[in-house]
Structure 1
Amino acid sequence: MSALIFGSLDAGPSAFMSAGTKITFDGSDRDGFAILASGGGGARTERGPTIRGITTNLTRQTAIGAVLAGYQWFHDWGVVAAFAGPEGSIELERSVVGNVVQPFRYGIRLHGEVWARPTDATLLTVTAILGSTRQSAWGRLAWGHEIWGAYLGPEVALYVDGTGYSKFGIGVHATDFRIGDVRFRASLGYQTESSGDGGPYLTLGIWQPW
């Protein structure tokens, strides 16, 4: 059995922080079953209630977690993984009319990812996550070419959920640069949101075998 711990921070017009672990039972680089557990929280600004013809802002704070079971397939060209399991979330809405705590919700999450190496010097990653508690979908597509020990290249990401909120980001990333056993990913780009907000974003990710 082996484990990988990871964490990430997304900062931009909205912000989200998460951490978790992936546990494998047949080694970290072999076909086999795995457990993926994660939790996180964040905040974003949305359009709030309209008062006397003036639209106000609403801040939504969310905490969410999931424990998923799945399988990983290793090939010469890369790795494919698929997970499914329960997730739960709770939200706090803050606006000029007061604070509202939404009831705790639970449901199912589906998580799939591909890490492929089309050539010895390139990396293609595709990640998709669907969650029923917030009727959410998140996807990221990134390509990189190996330079100075890391994969550098473009990325795009899209998120939507059942509140009518969405965000789209496009930028550049550096993936798999290392300090000892610790690996990192950094992304920088521009993000737009359905609320009309837009601005630069920064993503930092870290993972380490345990």
Structure 2
Amino acid sequence: MVVAALPLSVCSAALAEDDEADEERSRLSTVIFGSMEAGPTKTFLSVGMKRAIGGGLAQSGFRLFLKAGGSQEQTRRQSPRGTTYKAETQTLLGYEWRIGDTFVALYAGSDVQSERRDEPLGPSLIETRYGARLQADLWSTPLPGMMFQASAYASTLDRRLWARAAPGWQMPLGFYVGPEVEAYRERDYRKLRLGLHLTGLRLLGLEWRLAGGWQRTSDRPSEAYATLGLHWQR
């Protein structure tokens, strides 16, 4: 009787732990995230949040997406180069479909950018523009030990188009490693990135993403880039 009861009690404890984990995940309703991109001529910082409306993130439902960012970059390649400062905000509303560990989300909303150019030989130029933005996100685990993440958006500001795709394979410590490709276009400007990413590293209660590689743009020679991202669920 004791021998039979032992595996039963272990099984019950495991089920209780699973139930507690599922309950904890169901209570999570907000993701707070941030990122930093660095290159030889430009630095970009951003922070934002995704919040479930009327439920938790573990279920399908409506989402509110807010993001704000700022950058500093050279205005021109040759002297006098000048400095351009940009600030942008997006306020988006969308719906997220959840199937197990896979989710697909589609958002739409406003896209606002303010820009200030400090010219060495003249006055600063300040401009604010408004547009609309459509965005899609995908996270999937198609095979055991493999993930696939993709994001894309289109904005009426300068007719911008951006997309990123990153498959990854799980390492013994739990995070994923793999290649990434990213493409961006606006009016007469183009950018293509090819690199490697490390996604899902858990440290200090946060999940981290590191990436780096080589980029080519339509107005500069090829150069290195690096990105750092993090998110926190609560």
Q: TM-score, normalised by structure 1?
A: 0.89
Determine helix, strand or coil for the equivalent of 1:103: strand
Number of positions where the alignment pairs a residue of Structure 1 with one of Structure 2:
204
Change (3 A) 1:197 1:15: farther
Quote the offset at 1:208 in angstroms.
Answer: 0.2
Which runs of no fewer than 5 residues in structure 2 stay unpaired? 1-27
Structure 2 residue aligned with 1:153 = 178
Change (3 A) 1:141 1:90: same
Larger-Rg structure: 2
RMSD in angstroms over aligned alpha carbons?
A: 2.0
Tell me the alpha carbon deviations over residues 56-84 of structure 1, each in whole angstroms, 9 at most, x when there is no partner. 64543211001100000012461100101
Query: 1:46, 1:195 within 8 Å by CA — same for their partners in 2?
Result: no
Q: In the alignment, which of 113, 128, 132 is matched to residue 89 of structure 1?
A: 113
Which runs of no fewer than 5 residues in structure 1 stay unpaired? 49-53
- In 1: Cα distance, 2:67 partner to 2:147 partner: 25
Q: In the alignment, which of 165, 174, 189 is matched to residue 141 of structure 1?
A: 165
- In 1: Cα distance, 2:189 partner to 2:96 partner: 32
- In 2: Cα distance, 1:99 partner to 1:143 partner: 46
Tell me the alpha carbon deviations over residues 118-172 of structure 1, each in whole angstroms, 9 at most, x when there is no partner. 102111111002222232221111010000211100001112223x222211110
- In 1: Cα distance, 2:123 partner to 2:32 partner: 34
Structure 1 residue aligned with 2:211 = 187
From the two aligned structures, give the one with the greater helix fraction.
2
Change (3 A) 1:99 1:144: farther
Structure 2 residue aligned with 1:132 = 156
Alignment of 1:21-40 (within 5 A): 21-25=49-53, 26-40=55-69
Structure 1 residue aligned with 2:37 = 10
Quote the offset at 1:98 in angstroms.
Answer: 2.6
Determine whether 1:78 maps to 2:102.
yes
Determine helix, strand or coil for the equivalent of 1:29: coil
After alignment, is 127-136 or 96-105 more displaced? 96-105
Query: 1:172, 1:187 within 8 Å by CA — same for their partners in 2?
Result: yes
Which gives a bigger RCO, structure 1 or 2 (Cα 8 Å, sep 6+)? 1
Query: 1:77, 1:118 within 8 Å by CA — same for their partners in 2?
Result: no
Identity fraction in percent: 31
Q: TM-score, normalised by structure 2?
A: 0.80
Determine whether 1:61 maps to 2:85.
yes
Quote the offset at 1:183 in angstroms.
Answer: 0.5
Determine helix, strand or coil for the equivalent of 1:104: strand
